[in-house]
Structure 1
């Protein structure tokens, strides 16, 4: 067993990393001499073919939605940049919309990273760069000036550095139990507008429960609840509104239910004994295919509806886990099972995770992970935020990312020593984010040109829903 280093030795490691990657070098955006259309096509391979146009349709809405769905492009570009050499499981897709609120098993509402499909071992800077680039792109979309966008970025990076410096003084156990509750977020808000938004979000979260969504998503007939089809977002795999196609092997309802039963049993083995006991109190009523997000469109995702003896619901989401784009461009020893990779990354990075989080293998060699579909989950409406609110949100995201990185890595001392007071790194991130926002705009233009020419097919949710109207 390797003897742990002293704090002095660990600080020296962080400062030594400045030689490997000068903080000023972090402004470089990497190798952008690639065709974004080719990379997106490669990233769409293996998805449900009929849903790929919907993926592109959602990405086509704006440069910001395009950025959300094109994590593969930034990962490709970052692979050609310097990094500090301090690596550990990172989120991999830490843009603004992948932060949000959810309930802990103890029913506390917390703010944290909430998407880990791309979680993998990589440089911590890649998460920061994903965040600051999304700030610049969202700021441009909102019509903010370059100076204002610079304030957003500086705020996020300085908060990250200051919190990392604070966490460098925490014991291992103190860091493991650190969570960012909405009460702490409200108490730290610098404006009345920010505090009102937090209160409004808390109230909204309290309405987003399994019970509140039951009658919106399902209908009861003869004592059994059935999820209502709402294509293209929600449909039964073997039903008349299915978008999976005849070659998907989902046409035999009994067959795929049988395969899923085996997968579900394997999933329960990844839970603790008490959670398995809890699940035994529920009976499965229905399963439907659910189309989620922007970047995940076309991957296999199911919604499972369970009801307990009191008639109360539990919705579980079964989501396909594909290879991480981070692992594609930053090869490192990792988990072979992609569902397990997502779950381990989430448990490491979050302050508190979903009690039903687990993984399994499914038909056709696909890997999946489970989580609750709705459990007081809320996300920010970034597009509607004023500049003051967006700056406050930037700060909270910087705080949440620092907490996640400090916990997952146990290397807050090294990262803090590398950052110093944060000024040099913040300046580099400002330059990086603005330059990458320009690159994203150029990629979006190329993408839209491909959509208009027919090289890529893009269809909106409304377009696809119209196919099922009489």
Structure 2
């Protein structure tokens, strides 16, 4: 194991692969060309925090690395960015708290092991961020991959309908057999998630408009009200005209019942909001809707959807509208999905998708876990990933290809460590670029 990400070892590994690795900083620069310029320093600052944070924002780089490795050819609908922190809690349409994959910006058909390797590498990096030993890193990674393999074998033996609706109930998430550390942390995350709704978002993000109504609090660069955007960002339109066009496009993608529901609300304000790490700089907006009753408040999020970072490397069909790609991928991978999922196009031609902004959403803070807690959390994510792949791919063929789960865990450890080492190496490149002044940063992130 090489927790330090030794540059010489990385070069040897890439030579052994018989390929010349593209410059990761150029890949990131190309990805940022169409992003909001005032948020790029924020993105760089978030990615600079540590190698794990860099890894969260470097899906484009790892996609390039994965494409240079042989794979099984067994295709599924990939999450496309299946690291630990892209799993979490949310509310189902039936008002149940669910745990599932919760980020689909990079979803695309592709070989199943690409998701598994990204999850495995994130387990190694998370373990390193906690200061765990090489032995502990290996154990955590192997156990996560083994759980994926065991779960896929279980799903391969199940009839289609029970497999299709499989989910992790809360009592299993807080299983007494799991580590006390994870149980205690999950209880806190669940309590917090159940308070995260549109009303909570309004309390945190809004202020009075001076006329008895509400508006978003203008806090650039992280929250930027559309009313304060330069005119050239609106293609010559007033911001209200721009938002009305996006709203009409979005509503047309929803089921008739949801169209009727939204017709009972009035859109009163819109703002750009920086979110996550990898998404920072994309056109991510939040919209405030109010109804006739004082408690009728709804906050929706509309995010720009660019082509998946995996698209150049797989010859598999996907919808031409990138928002539709995200929505359809999410619905295929999740056991139950947000009712407000829909896609749209803005007047500039950008593809977007809409969803609930805060609807019982919650995520685990890896920094609060110990070795046992991280191992058990990795198992939850691995079970969830296997369920998603079983829904979208040939679960029996995948299980047969994997073979013995223990051996599969051992087999994927080495590439997981290599990808983690590459993230450490690339993070150092980012820090050097920041130190030289070539890459911008922000004190607000």
Q: CA deviation at 1:170?
A: 2.0
CA contact (8 A) 1:29 1:77 kept: no
Match of 1:68 among 49, 56, 59: 56
Deviations 1:348-395 (A, max 9, x none): 001111000000111221000000000000011012211111111111
Change (3 A) 1:53 1:194: closer
1:347 aligns with 2:336: no
Deviations 1:226-276 (A, max 9, x none): 11112222121342xx5xx564237x6x62321321221121121111111
Q: Where does residue 431 of structure 2 map in the other structure? A: 448
Alignment partners' CA distance in 2, 1:90 and 1:29 = 24
Q: Is 1:248 aligned to residue 233 of structure 2?
A: yes
Q: 2:343 aligns with which of 340, 359, 362?
A: 359
The normalised TM-score by structure 1 is: 0.87
1:156 aligns with 2:156: no
**Alignment correspondent of 2:4:** none
Kindly indicate whether the alpha-carbon contact (under 8 Å) linking 1:167 and 1:406 is maintained by their aligned counterparts in 2.
yes
Equivalent in 224, 236, 253 of residue 213 of structure 2: 224
Residue 160 of structure 1 and its aligned partner are, at CA, apart by 0.7
1:52 shift after superposition:
1.5
Note if 1:79 corresponds to 2:61: no
What are the ranges of 5 or more consecutive residues in structure 1 without an aligned counterpart?
1-27, 463-470
- 1:139-181 CA distance string (max 9 Å, x none): 1121111110111111111111111111112222222211223
**Alignment partner of 2:376: what SS?**
helix
CA RMSD of aligned residues (A): 1.7
Distance 1:413 1:219 in 2: 54
The 10-residue stretch of structure 1 (316-325 or 29-38) with the greater mean CA deviation from structure 2: 29-38
Aligned to 1:388: 372
Q: Distance in 1 between matches of 2:74 and 2:43?
A: 34
Give distance in 1, aligned partners of 2:219 and 2:434.
26
1:419 and 1:347 mapped to 2: Cα distance?
A: 26
Residues in 1 aligned to 2:425 and 2:191: alpha-carbon distance in whole angstroms? 40
1:47 aligns with 2:26: no
Residue by residue over 1:300-347, the C-alpha shift from the partner in whole angstroms, topping out at 9 and shown as x without a partner, is: 011001112212211000100001001122232211100000000100
User: After the TM superposition, which residues 114-193 of structure 1 pair with which residues of structure 2 at under 5 Å, given as runs?
Assistant: 114-187=102-175, 189-193=177-181
Pick the aligned partner of 2:298 from 314, 319, 332: 314
Residues 186-224 of structure 1, C-alpha deviations (whole Å, 9 max, x = no match):
237423333222222221111111122222211233232
Number of matched residues?
428
Q: Residue 414 in 1 paired to residue 397 in 2?
A: yes
Tell me: CA distance 1:138–1:191, structure 2 relative to 1, closer, same or farther (3 Å): closer
Question: Which runs of no fewer than 5 residues in structure 2 stay unpaired?
Answer: 1-15
CA drift of 1:121 comes to 0.9
Match of 1:439 among 389, 410, 422: 422
Q: Is the 8 A contact 1:219 1:228 kept in 2?
A: yes
Partner residue of 1:99 out of 68, 87, 93 = 87
Judged with a 3 Å threshold, the aligned counterparts in structure 2 of structure 1 residues 168 and 281 are, in CA distance, closer, same or farther, namely same
Say whether residues 1:402 and 2:386 are aligned partners. yes
Q: C-alpha offsets along residues 421-468 of structure 1, whole Å, 9 cap, x if unaligned?
A: 212221121111112211111111112111111222122425xxxxxx
Residue 378 of structure 1 aligns to a residue in which SS?
coil
Q: State the alpha-carbon separation in 2 of the partners of residues 46 and 195 from structure 1.
A: 42
8 Å Cα contact 1:189-1:392 kept in structure 2: no
* Equivalent residue number for residue 236 of structure 1: 225
How far apart, in 2, do the equivalents of 1:247 and 1:134 lie? 40
Conserved? CA contact 1:339–1:369, under 8 Å: yes
Separation in 1 of the partners of 2:142 and 2:131?
18
Residues in 1 aligned to 2:190 and 2:402: alpha-carbon distance in whole angstroms: 34
TM-score under structure 2 normalisation?
0.92
1:7 maps to none
CA drift of 1:69 comes to: 0.7
- Note if contact 1:29-1:435 (Cα within 8 Å) is conserved in structure 2: no
